[in-house]
Amino acid sequence: MSRLLRVELTRLLCRRAVLVILVVAVAIPTVIGVATVLNTRPPAASQLAYAEEQAAEESQRKVYQRQFEQCLENPENFIGDQVPDDVRTACELSALPQPDWYVYYDELDLAAEDEQSGLAVVIVVAILMMLIGTTFAGHDWASGSVSNQLLFEPRRPLVWAAKAGVVAGLTGLFAGFVFTVYWLGLGVVASSRDLPVGDGILLDGLQSGWRGAGVAAAAALAGYALTMLFRSTVAALGVLLAASVAGGVVLAVIGIGSVWNPGLNIGAVILDGAKYWAEVPCTGGIEFEGQQCSVEKTLPIGRALWYLGTGLVLFAAASLASFHRRDVP
Amino acid sequence: MSDLVIETTGLRKEFRSLRGEVRVAVQGLDLAVPAGGVHGFLGPNGSGKTTTIRMLLGLARPTRGTMRLFGQAVPERLPQVIGRVGAVVESPKFSPNFTGRRNLMLLAGAIGAPASRVDEAIETVKLAGREKDRYKAYSLGMKQRLAIAATLIKEPDLLILDEPTNGLDPAGIREIRETIRDLGASGVTVLLSSHILAEVQQVCTSATIIGNGRLLASGTVDELLGIGTSYRVVVPDPAVAGQVLARAGFEPATIDGRLHVEAGDPAELTRVLGEAGIWLTELSPLRADLESYFLQLTEAEQLGHDAAADSEAVA
At B68 the three-state DSSP class reads: strand
Q: B154 and B199 in one domain?
A: yes
B50 within some domain:
yes
Instruction: Write the residue in A7, A11, A143 that is nearest to B96 by C-beta.
Output: A143
B298 within some domain:
no
Q: At what angle do helices A2-13 and A156-192 cross, to 10 degrees?
A: 60
Give the confidence band of A167 by pLDDT, cuts at 50, 70, 90. very high
Q: A113 and A7 in one domain?
A: yes
Distance CA A251, CA A269 (A): 20
Reduced 3-state DSSP string for B89-105:
CCCCCCCCCCEHHHHHH
pLDDT at residue number B1:
45
**Is the pLDDT reported for residue A319 higher than 50?**
yes
Min Cα separation A11/chain B (Å): 7
Q: How many helices (H) and strands (E) are present in chain B, helices listed first?
A: 11, 14
Q: What percentage of chain B has pLDDT greater than the value 70?
A: 90
Mean pLDDT of A267-279: 86
- A327 and B54 within 8 Å at the Cβ level: the answer is yes
Q: B234 and B92 in one domain?
A: no
A222 and A310 in contact (C-beta within 8 Å)?
Answer: no
B161 within some domain:
yes
Distance CA A176, CA A173 (A): 5
- A327 and B95 within 8 Å at the Cβ level: the answer is no
At B49 the three-state DSSP class reads: helix
Q: B119 and B214 in one domain?
A: yes
B150 interaction partners in chain A (CB closer than 8 Å): 148
Q: A169 and A92 in one domain?
A: no
What are phi and psi for residue A105, nearest 5 degrees?
A: -160, 150
Mean pLDDT of B56-72: 93
Question: How far, CA to CA in Å, does A33 sit from each of A130, A181, A206, B116, B204?
Answer: 22, 10, 14, 48, 68
Question: How far, CA to CA in Å, does B203 sit from each of A125, B196, B301?
Answer: 56, 11, 25
Distance CA A152, CA A164 (A): 18
Instruction: Write the residue in A4, A14, A325 that is nearest to B98 by C-beta.
Output: A14
From A37, A187, A20, A28, select the one nearest A121 (Cα to Cα): A28
Mean pLDDT of B194-214: 84
pLDDT at residue number A229:
93
Q: What percentage of chain B has pLDDT greater than the value 90?
A: 24
Is B200 an 8 Å CB contact of chain A? no
B75 within some domain:
yes
Q: B278 and B265 in one domain?
A: yes
Mean pLDDT of A131-148: 90
At B32 the three-state DSSP class reads: strand
Q: Which domain holds residue B20?
A: 4-225
Residues forming a β-bridge with B66: B9
Domain boundary among B174, B193, B225: B225
pLDDT at residue number B6:
94
Q: B254 and B161 in one domain?
A: no
- A143 and B95 within 8 Å at the Cβ level: the answer is yes
Mean residue pLDDT of chain A comes to 87
Number of compact structural domains in chain A: 2
In chain A, what is the greatest distance between 2 CA atoms, to the nearest angstrom?
94
Min Cα separation B69/chain A (Å): 14
Q: B71 and B214 in one domain?
A: yes
Min Cα separation A24/chain B (Å): 20
When scoring A11, A14, A146, A148 by the number of chain B Cβ atoms within 10 A, the one with the most, hence best to mutate, is A148
**ipTM of the complex model:** 0.72
**Is the pLDDT reported for residue B228 higher than 60?**
no
Domain boundary among A71, A102, A133: A102
Q: Which amino acid is at A47?
A: Q
Domain boundary among A102, A127, A151: A102
Number of other residues whose CB lies within 10 A of the CB of residue A122:
28
Is A231 an 8 Å CB contact of chain B? no
Domain boundary among A82, A102, A122: A102
pLDDT digits (tens, 9 = 90+) for B8-21: 999 999 988 888 88
Question: How far, CA to CA in Å, does B216 sit from each of A28, B34, B211, B224, B290?
Answer: 64, 18, 7, 11, 13
Q: A56 and A33 in one domain?
A: no
pLDDT digits (tens, 9 = 90+) for B211-221: 888 888 888 87
Q: B234 and B212 in one domain?
A: no
Q: B261 and B146 in one domain?
A: no
Chain A, chain B: beta-carbon pairs less than 8 Å apart: 72
Number of compact structural domains in chain B: 2
**Is the pLDDT reported for residue B40 higher than 80?**
yes
A278 and A257 in contact (C-beta within 8 Å)?
Answer: yes
Q: A191 and A80 in one domain?
A: no
Question: How far, CA to CA in Å, does A155 sit from each of A162, B70, B78, B86, B209?
Answer: 11, 18, 9, 16, 31
* DSSP state, residue B248: T
Which one is predicted more confidently, A30 or A94?
A30
Give the confidence band of A178 by pLDDT, cuts at 50, 70, 90. very high
Domain boundary among B198, B225, B252: B225
What is the full DSSP assignment across A228-254? HHHT-HHHHHHHHHHHHHHHHHHHHHT
Mean pLDDT of A3-11: 88
B107 within some domain:
yes
Q: B135 and B259 in one domain?
A: no
From B52, B88, B100, select the one nearest B164 (Cα to Cα): B88
Q: A117 and A95 in one domain?
A: no
Residues forming a β-bridge with B194: B42
B197 within some domain:
yes
Q: What percentage of chain A has pLDDT greater than the value 90?
A: 37
Distance CA A183, CA A114 (A): 9
Containing A221, the helix (H) or strand (E) segment is helix A201-230
CATH number of the domain enclosing B275: 3.30.70
Mean residue pLDDT of chain B comes to 84
Q: A92 and A35 in one domain?
A: no
A152 and B107 in contact (C-beta within 8 Å)?
Answer: yes
CATH number of the domain enclosing B112: 3.40.50.300
Residues forming a β-bridge with B285: B231
- A149 and B94 within 8 Å at the Cβ level: the answer is no
pLDDT at residue number B178:
85
What are phi and psi for residue A139, nearest 5 degrees?
A: -65, -40
Question: How far, CA to CA in Å, does B258 sit from each of A154, A215, B227, B279?
Answer: 59, 86, 18, 14
At A193 the three-state DSSP class reads: coil
Number of other residues whose CB lies within 10 A of the CB of residue B306:
11
pLDDT digits (tens, 9 = 90+) for B296-310: 677 766 666 665 555
Give the confidence band of A284 by pLDDT, cuts at 50, 70, 90. low
Q: B216 and B250 in one domain?
A: no
B154 interaction partners in chain A (CB closer than 8 Å): 152
Q: B257 and B120 in one domain?
A: no
Give the confidence band of A287 by pLDDT, cuts at 50, 70, 90. low
Q: A174 and A98 in one domain?
A: no
- B63-77 b/e (C-beta count within 10 Å ≥ 16 → b): bebebbbbeeebbee
- In terms of Cβ atoms closer than 10 Å to its own Cβ (0-12, 13-18, 19+), residue A273 is middle
pLDDT digits (tens, 9 = 90+) for A212-244: 999 999 999 999 999 999 998 899 888 888 887
The half-sphere exposure of A208 on its side-chain side, counting CA atoms within 13 A, is 30
pLDDT digits (tens, 9 = 90+) for A17-26: 999 999 999 9
B312 within some domain:
no
Q: Which domain holds residue A128?
A: 2-41+108-325
Q: A152 and A88 in one domain?
A: no
- A43-78 b/e (C-beta count within 10 Å ≥ 16 → b): beeeeeeebeeebeeeeeeeeeeebbeebeeebeeb
How many Å separate Cα A45 from the centre of its chain?
A: 34
Question: What is the pTM for the complete model shown?
Answer: 0.78
Q: B251 and B107 in one domain?
A: no
